[in-house]
């Protein structure tokens, strides 16, 4: 081989190694660290639901692969330990929805293995007791979203035999539900919602086997839904703009910290994406360090983000994790 050919070959090999190195460096440069917390004291499960009151997160219902559950557990975020509380008084179920409103927790909807449900219950953490409230105003369903923003609480979307996009607001003083209009997004189940600065952000989920690309902001002061940029990788419409995004998924979890939203995991995934509402931009963060999972639980307590439970296939998890978005990943701290 002459010197010219040797030089070209060497340059090509060097260039290939350079770009491979850059690609690997980019992957290693993702920011964020996952810290393992005290394992959940109850049975491992998926499709549980949660609400947060003060320093405590409450987790209830879910499915073990054999049993639909109704136990209630409180996580003390300051002490990193679990306490069992009074059992949920409805029938055991999975894929229920929940929210916190005025210092009380509310749980309803779901699936008991045979029936789709629409009953609705309030939990009082001071009395450690449950009371049944007016049934949900829409159809019996599961895999809906529940959230409270700006003092207004809602259930919406889900699956009742058809994919849904309706929303109902709950008035705890009157103990009534009201159908609210204005959401023009796609039908879906297994979406996720996070709240930042008194606005709710809804995205992901699935409709007829297709992961949904639209992403929405809800302002409770005006009751207006505003479409934000899509979360897919397609750049052939007015809402999409970045070929690097891979956020679409179903059965994901979410939480918020420091004015930013985080979507974690989902069907077959362990990736993490951070949303900035000021710029309407997403940035990938360090992937979940535990096993990939679906139907997990995510929540925020005092500006700290947690992610736990869920399943992969027929394997159910009871591990719990906290995400530190500003720390470098450390593989040796768990």
- How far is residue 39 from each of residues 9, 151, 289, 290, measured CA to CA in Å? 54, 32, 15, 12
Q: What is the pLDDT of residues 51-108, one digit of tens each?
A: 999 999 999 999 999 999 999 999 999 999 999 999 999 999 999 999 999 999 999 9
One-letter-per-residue 3-state SS of 69-85: CCCEEEEECCCCEEEEE
> Residue 240: what pLDDT?
55
Q: What is the pLDDT of residue 219?
A: 97
Do 203 and 264 meet the contact criterion of CB atoms below 8 Å apart? no
Q: Which residues contact 111 (CB under 8 A, 6 or more apart)?
A: 93, 94, 95, 117, 142
- The per-residue pLDDT for 275 is 97
Residues 180-212 have pLDDT tens digits of 989 999 999 999 999 999 999 999 999 999 999
In this prediction, residues 160-183 reach a mean pLDDT of: 97
pLDDT at 313 over 80: yes
Has residue 3 got a pLDDT over 60? no
Q: What would the DSSP string read from start to end of 267-328?
A: TTEEEEEEEETTTTEEEEEPPPSS---BS-EEEEETTEEEEE--EETTEE---EEEEETTSP
Tokens at 132, concatenated: 């049944």
Q: Is the pLDDT of residue 239 over 70?
A: no
Is residue 40 predicted with pLDDT exceeding 60? yes
Residue 24's pLDDT is 39
**Between 157 and 245, residue with greater pLDDT:** 157
């Amino acid at each position: 081989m002459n010197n010219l050919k040797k030089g070209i070959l060497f340059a090509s090999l060097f260039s290939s190694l350079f770009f491979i190195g850059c690609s690997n460096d980019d992957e290693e440069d993702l920011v964020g660290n996952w810290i393992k917390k005290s394992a959940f004291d109850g049975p491992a499960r998926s499709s549980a639901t949660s609400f947060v009151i003060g320093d405590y997160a409450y987790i209830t219902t879910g499915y073990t692969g054999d049993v639909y559950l109704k136990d209630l557990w409180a996580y003390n975020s300051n002490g990193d330990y679990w306490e069992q509380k009074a059992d949920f008084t409805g029938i055991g179920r999975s894929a229920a929805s929940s929210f916190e409103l005025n210092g009380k927790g509310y749980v309803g909807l779901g699936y008991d293995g045979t029936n789709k449900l629409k009953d609705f219950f309030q939990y009082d953490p001071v009395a450690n007791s449950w009371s049944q409230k007016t049934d949900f105003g829409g159809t019996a369903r599961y895999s809906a979203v529940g959230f409270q923003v700006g003092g207004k609480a809602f259930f919406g979307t889900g699956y009742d035999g058809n994919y849904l996009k309706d929303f109902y607001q709950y008035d705890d003083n009157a103990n009534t539900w009201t159908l609210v209009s204005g959401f023009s997004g796609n039908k879906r189940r297994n979406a996720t919602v996070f709240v930042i600065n008194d606005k709710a952000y809804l995205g992901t989920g699935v409709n007829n086997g297709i992961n949904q690309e639209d992403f929405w902001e809800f302002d409770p002061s005006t009751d207006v839904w505003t479409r934000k940029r899509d979360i897919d990788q397609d750049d052939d419409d007015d809402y999409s703009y970045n070929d690097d995004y891979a956020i679409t998924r179903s059965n994901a979890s979410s939480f918020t910290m420091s004015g930013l939203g985080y979507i974690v995991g989902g069907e077959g995934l362990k990736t993490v994406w951070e949303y900035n509402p000021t710029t309407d931009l997403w940035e990938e963060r360090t992937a979940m360090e535990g096993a990939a999972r679906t139907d997990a639980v995510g929540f925020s307590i005092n500006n700290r983000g947690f992610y736990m439970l869920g399943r992969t296939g027929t394997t159910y998890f009871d591990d719990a994790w906290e995400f530190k978005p500003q720390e470098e990943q450390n593989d040796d701290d768990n």
